[in-house]
Amino acid sequence: MTVQNKDVVIGFVGTGVMGKSMASHLIKAGYRVLVYNRTKAKAEELIAQGATWMDRVSDLAKAAQVIITMVGYPKDVEEIYLEADGIVHHAKPGAYLIDMTTSKPSLARTIYEEAKKRGLFALDAPVSGGDVGAREARLTIMVGGDEDAYAAVEPILRVMGTNVIRQGGPGAGQHTKMCNQIAIATNMIGVCEAIAYAKRAGLDPTRVLQSIEAGAAGSWSLSNLAPRMIAGNFAPGFYVKHFIKDMTIALEAAKEMGLMTPGLELSKSLYEELAAQGEEDSGTQALIKWFDKQFASSV
């Protein structure tokens, strides 16, 4: 099979904030796309674009040659792939399984091994770039798995992202995503502290941002999330609850390797406080609310 052939059938599981845009790009590229989501209403827009709805994950797995998953938590990944009604037990021999959820490296390796026993090719391919990257097909995609399997599906991945790199064997994509989340975790604290400082100094945060984002302080979070913080836009491009999940995975993996990550621990504790205040379904930029609250209480 060559995935450049637009006759290839792609199954897409998980049509939330990220998945909906990603699947939409595949439809627009001319692929036949089958979709499944626990809440069918979240797939209606894709169905209107030409996707075919499947009532069960097992039915989707039986009908697709490439199966992509973009769900919430490792427990969802494990259920969708490994339970009796799951993808590994129902996919056609020779099918390619691509989990783009941020999940546990150990689970990625387990899926790879179980898939291999059944003549399936499994890749872990988590992404970075948020809702904007997904919408604009500019995601960074970090891939783990066999080189031949990666080469076969690379054209499909490049429909959804621009920075697509195989990092190594099974689990390597998830480990790379943990590096990404560790870097973001402490950077988000810095972005919020900078905005809080600008406010306390009587500056216009928007004008401050124009200066510092172009210099050495520049980062994706500073350019893309700081403006949302300043505007009071806390709609989720990436949920607080999912970021806490990612940081938990990263902390567990780091401890398994004997690595100390104090910045990650601090960031996770702040986000957990934020979630406890009812912000778990807000975007990660809502962390500024924690700093604003400290600011208000000190005035």
What integer pLDDT is reported at residue 2 of this predicted model? 54
Query: In angstroms, rounded to a whole number, what is the distance separating the alpha carbons of residues 137 and 131?
Result: 10
What integer pLDDT is reported at residue 130 of this predicted model? 86
Catalytic residue among 177, 199, 255, 293: 177
Mean pLDDT of 189-201: 96
Summarize pLDDT for 121-154 with one digit per residue, the tens: 999 999 999 889 999 999 999 999 999 999 999 9
User: For residue 125, what is the enclosing H or E element?
Assistant: none
Closest CA to 118 of 68, 61, 57, 169: 61
What integer pLDDT is reported at residue 265 of this predicted model? 98
CB count in 10 Å sphere of residue 85: 13
Closest CA to 189 of 274, 256, 109: 274
Domain boundaries, the chain: 9-168, 175-298
pTM to 2 decimal places = 0.92
Phi and psi angles of residue 71, each rounded to the nearest 5 degrees, phi first: -115, -165
Closest CA to 81 of 99, 62, 104: 99
Query: SS3 for 69?
Result: strand
Pick the CATH number of 9-168 from 3.40.50.720, 3.20.20.140, 3.30.365.10, 3.30.2020.10: 3.40.50.720
Closest CA to 158 of 178, 180, 140: 140
CB count in 10 Å sphere of residue 241: 17
Q: Calculate what percentage of the chain has a pLDDT beyond 70.
A: 97
Catalytic residue check, 177: yes
DSSP state of 201: T
Please give the CATH number for the structural domain made up of 175-298: 1.10.1040.10
Query: In angstroms, rounded to a whole number, what is the distance separating the alpha carbons of residues 219 and 197?
Result: 18
Is residue 67 within 8 A of residue 11, CB to CB? The reply is: yes
